[in-house]
Chains A and B, each alone.
Chain A
Amino acid sequence: MATDTLKSSGTGAGGAAGVRRLLLDNGALTALIVLVIAMSALSGDFLTTDNLLNVGVQAAVTAILAFGATFVIVAAGIDLSVGSVAALSATVLAWSATSHGVPVFLAVVLAVATGVAAGLVNGFLIAYGKLPPFIATLAMLSVGRGLALVISAGSPIAFPGSVSHLGDTLGGWLPVPVLVMVLMGLIAAFVLGRTYIGRSMYAIGGNEEAARLSGLRVNKQKLAIYALSGLFAAVAGVVLAARLSSAQPQAANGYELDAIAAVVIGGASLAGGTGKASGTLIGALILAVLRNGLNLLNVSAFWQQVVIGVVIALAVLLDTVRRKAGATPLAAGTGGNKGRQAGTYALAAVVTVALVAATSLLHTGSSSATPKFGLSLSTLNNPFFVQIRAGAQAEARKQGVDLTVTDAQNDASQQANQLQNFTSSGLGAIIVNPVDSDAASNSVKAADKAGIPVIAVDRGVNNATTATLVASDNVTGGELAAKTLAQKLGGQGKIVILQGQAGTSAARERAQGFANGLKAYPGIQVVAQQPADFDRTKGLDVMSNLLQAHPDVQGVIAANDEMALGAIKALGSKAGSSVSVIGFDGTPDGLTAVKNGTLYASVAQQPSQLGKIAVDNALKAVKDQKLPSAIKVPVKVVTKDNVAGFTG
């Protein structure tokens, strides 16, 4: 208050000074440059045209979502629903075009309209219903995701070919998602900078009451702002699905947080009133560079998440420190500038050192002589896949192979990014455990084009050539599970089925197997089938709920051991006595339960065998040996009788 600055801004800013000023005024840009320099220094594969275009593609979906979120955040709101709305829009497009023969053009319009409608509902609840934005959009997050699952019946729907070109490249090298990102970015910048609604966003976000008393129609503007956010989410959803050639109801899960992070890293304040499209783009690029670089550097999948979190915090901290130091505006040319610069440089130095130290520490060193393979796992949240990794890593060590393992966290598009990174860093072979069999096809095709053999493990890849598929047969396994339980119950009784995560091939195939197997036993009555997402906690909750409705149930088939173990918790002392539970996978926990008698049987795959065999076959493929199209790793039913002799 007492510090009224009347000095004019510094003069004589030459070219170099101009650049320095630009960097000082934009902490995020500094952070991005530091990051790029650090990554180039650490990995020779980073600074190539191919890889930089990859980074662009990988940033595209987050960036487009984040542009929409920028509108909302500048207006002092928040939109948590963008990820769900993106998935919903893509699902609507695929469903109307593929399943119902609506002309593709109309289907695209329908998809965009869906996004806008969801945004309008958000806006209406917030502007006229006076709901806090957090709550209104949280509700939409759930509704959008639910509707996407309802429309698609839980399965991915193939994307119409003409729209899938949005995920391709132009002239063989320029990726269309990057173009769309740039276009949407320009639109966002134009809307924010030049249009009535854009200027209103800043006024409303800066001081809603002052805006209202200056004659701005705040409620109408809010409606439009959330509708714009929905529109951008729809575009992001279509681009995402086009990249994967498949609309996935579970796509873009959690992307709203990435989008918000990108906006905030880009210099916007959650309190509203500030933010720029360029900053948001930089924020999205920082996230993409980080993920890409950590993949290339072979940083452990678990540590990657830690590093990403730390960098988000540091990037925003950098900006806050910079702003605090420059709280008195237009300080150029006076003494105070020094402290501010020092602060920025110091923090930039800390970021660099932390990053270099962390990555080189976590970076398992490699020499060029040994063959390099990449393994992209769908998730590491489940012991089954952890065992695949263990088997593969043990074999790789034995054979002298340098194996990079990534975790796609059950997100098909993240997996596409990782496969793209593998391809561009020129690995000898890629082993993929697809999140979704359809969604992985584009990435695998790209690897084929680059002459890199791809081995699929556990789940196949559709519409693309893989050297071989190393898998245990889910359908057969499902049939075996059904048969085992039916025989145990003597062909009579009520059972429930706990299904896997809707939209995954394992869930579908196992369910198919259960159904096939039960056909032979008409006396078995399935009283309920509910998904519990391959998750132990959800298995516990769903089983507890089902027991309320069906206390007399005699058998449970769970599509994996984790859910079976959750169900056993819910059943308590009934498990193993009056209720027989059958699981799937033969994980260590599952086998222990079989030993203890609470789990009647588990259809055991041999996950570490899957990993080992995959690596072996990758080596063969590199040596151009002929491989069979599929290698079946036997499944077998493990009960108390044979559990002692069984090892995964």
Chain B
Amino acid sequence: MSNPDELLRIEGIRKSFPGVVALDGVDFDLRRGEVHVLLGENGAGKSTLIKMLSGAYTPDAGRILAGGEEVRIHGAQDSERLGIATIYQEFNLVPDLTVAENIFLGRQPRRFGMIDRKRMEADAEVLLKRVGVNVSPRARVRELGIARLQMVEIAKALSLDARVLIMDEPTAVLTSEEVEKLFVIVRQLRADGVGIVFITHHLEEIAALGDRVTVIRDGKSVGQVPAATPQDELVRLMVGRSIEQQYPRERTETGAALLSVQGLTRDGVFHDVSFEVHAGEVVGIAGLVGAGRTEVVRAVFGADPYDKGAVKVSGTALRRHDVGAALAAGLGLVPEDRKGQGLVLDASVEENLGLVTLRQATRAGIVDLRGQHAAAERIAGQLGVRMAGLGQHVRTLSGGNQQKVVIGKWLLADTRVLILDEPTRGIDVGAKVEIYQLINELTAAGAAVLMISSDLPEVLGMSDRVLVMAQGRIAGELAADEATQDSVMALAVSTPGTPASPTTSLTPTTTDKEAGRGH
């Protein structure tokens, strides 16, 4: 076991929590200068595994070796000493400190007991240049978009001289252009000899970036394969069965326009947005993060106000900024931030499913709990929500099952126009397909679906029509057969008003169009 290139080896790791065995015999190893992809469905145990490496958890059994020697990682200090840096999905940044302060948090260079701001900012500048991001070290983190936050996290990891960099689904929140930029940086780090553990749900990224893949299923490592392994084979390893089709869209006859949006404008955010969604149709909205997609659908749903324009459902105009009116008209919204806006995390599956229909189920102030229970039971069964029971808190469900609950509450309300904002973000392949099937069932039943997604293959695979937004305007509309990755991206980076030819190919990484808005 004295391979000089080996940075890290994990043998037979076990970890159980009260009531569940999270990891049950996982083997894994990482070499200098490689990208080792960890692949597995949500709940397979990937997050638990990386938390062992970052010191958040300690294993119940098994060994961790660093550079050939057995080590114990009991906390963040231990992992830092071993040169292991972790970038989680939820960033560990302090919003009101500057970029430089965040990079050197707790390790600020000091002079006479005072923080040496000049040196700190100069050092930060070097690191930021190395990750290729154009941001001032003096900028406040709050003002940065999500892609830049990630770059700051990477710069922070570099400042620690990390030899092992763990990235937990770094691409989940990025647009494809940003993903390309990230890959350039990761490849650069690999060339510098850093070992990278990369977690992703996007199979196409594996071939593009990875060297080796370890697949984890139900807490066990089920195989180690080269990154060039065909996607079908990877899916089969991951879910334990083969999935016929990744995007099983079944087109249906389109009917009358259910939702029509005319000239919707909120000054400075989105302008003159008009579109229609017909019965039986899936309309995708593509665009870069910050293009105003979420803002538009929230305004359509009445969650936020708008300044000009009109929203009509089946020809009837909706009152501005009135969720109740949208609801009554049959509109539903599955928000982008599932945990923050879609679910009451510490309430049960049953309560979450009954949230939208709570008012309908109320007679004289009293809720028909039995009816609510029956309805929840029916829809949970129909959606195949994997849970211990209707009383389980949704916090403890996996991402895919959580999303099914959010969609389920709208299905119970007989929603006729369902707006999905990033419906499959952070969801594994198996659950994704189930959600796509749901979309098919909805449209087959005559409902309309409006879907925002930053996952281009998903938009292309599932939409009947694609609207592309750029800088708060609709930059163009593409029919399913003319929409390709290139044509969508061309529109997404165009400046609306000056019509861009859909066939123009573009070179990624040259423009930074992410409009600098965080959340």
Contact = CB atoms under 8 A, between A and B. Distances in A.
Interface of A: 1-9, 193-200, 202-203, 206-207, 209-217, 273-274, 325-332, 334-337, 339-340
Dominant secondary structure of chain A at its interface with chain B? loop
Given A2-B48, A212-B323, A214-B355, A7 B20 contact: yes
A197 B358 CA distance: 10
A336 B18 contact: yes
- Residue in A4, A211, A339 with the greatest tally of chain B CB atoms within 10 Å: A4
Interface in B310-352: 323-324, 327, 333, 335, 340-347, 351
Given A195-B367, A215-B356, A329 B19 contact: yes
A214 B365 contact: no
Closest 4 pairs (CB-CB, A-B): A336-B18, A331-B19, A206-B344, A4-B43
B16 A203 contact: no
A213 B342 contact: yes
27 contacts: A1-B42, A2-B42, A3-B43, A3-B396, A4-B396, A5-B388, A7-B20, A8-B388, A196-B362, A196-B367, A199-B358, A200-B358, A202-B347, A202-B351, A203-B344, A206-B344, A212-B303, A213-B333, A214-B358, A214-B409, A215-B323, A215-B356, A216-B355, A325-B18, A328-B19, A328-B396, A339-B18
Nearest to A202: B347
Contacts of B386: 4, 6
Contacts of B388: 5-9, 329-330
A202 B324 contact: no
B324 A3 contact: no
Contacts of A339: 18
B342 A210 contact: yes
- Chain B interface category by residue count: 35 or more
A330 B390 CA distance: 12
Given A215-B359, A331-B18, A206 B346 contact: yes
Interface in B44-84: 44-48
Contacts, number: 151
B16 A335 contact: yes
B397 interface: yes
B17 interface: yes
Nearest to A198: B367
B327 A215 contact: yes
B373 to A, nearest CB: 13
Contacts of A3: 17, 20, 22, 43, 48, 396
Interface in B378-395: 386-389, 392-393
A274 B347 CA distance: 8
B398 interface: yes
Interface string B356-372: 10110010011101000
B374 to A, nearest CB: 16
Contacts of B365: 195-197
Find the residue from B344, B397, B409 having the highest chain A CB count within 10 A.
Answer: B344
A209 B16 CA distance: 34
A321 B300 CA distance: 45
Contacts of A202: 344, 347, 351
B60 to A, nearest CB: 11
A216 B358 CA distance: 8
Contacts of A217: 324
B396 A336 contact: no
Given A4-B401, A196-B362, A335-B18, 18 more contacts: A2-B22, A2-B42, A3-B43, A6-B386, A194-B369, A195-B366, A197-B365, A200-B358, A206-B345, A207-B341, A207-B344, A210-B340, A213-B323, A213-B341, A214-B355, A273-B344, A327-B18, A337-B18
Contacts of B47: 1-2
Nearest to B298: A213
A194 B369 CA distance: 7
Contacts of B366: 194-196
B207 to A, nearest CB: 25
Contact of A4 (B333, B340, B367, B397): B397
A26 to B, nearest CB: 16
Contacts of B345: 206-207
Contacts of B347: 202-203, 206, 273
Nearest to B395: A329
Contacts of B46: 2
Given A2-B44, A202-B351, A210-B343, A196 B17 contact: no
A330 B19 contact: yes
A110 B340 CA distance: 42
A199 B345 CA distance: 15
Contacts of A337: 18-19
Contacts of A193: 369
A327 B22 CA distance: 14
A330 B389 contact: yes
Contacts of A327: 17-18
B286 to A, nearest CB: 23
Contacts of B341: 207, 209-210, 213
Contacts of A274: 346
B344 A329 contact: no
Contact of B19 (A7, A206, A209): A7
Contacts of A2: 22, 42-48
Given A196-B362, A215-B356, A329-B392, A336 B17 contact: yes
A483 to B, nearest CB: 66
A4 B388 CA distance: 9
Interface in B189-243: none
A274 B345 CA distance: 11
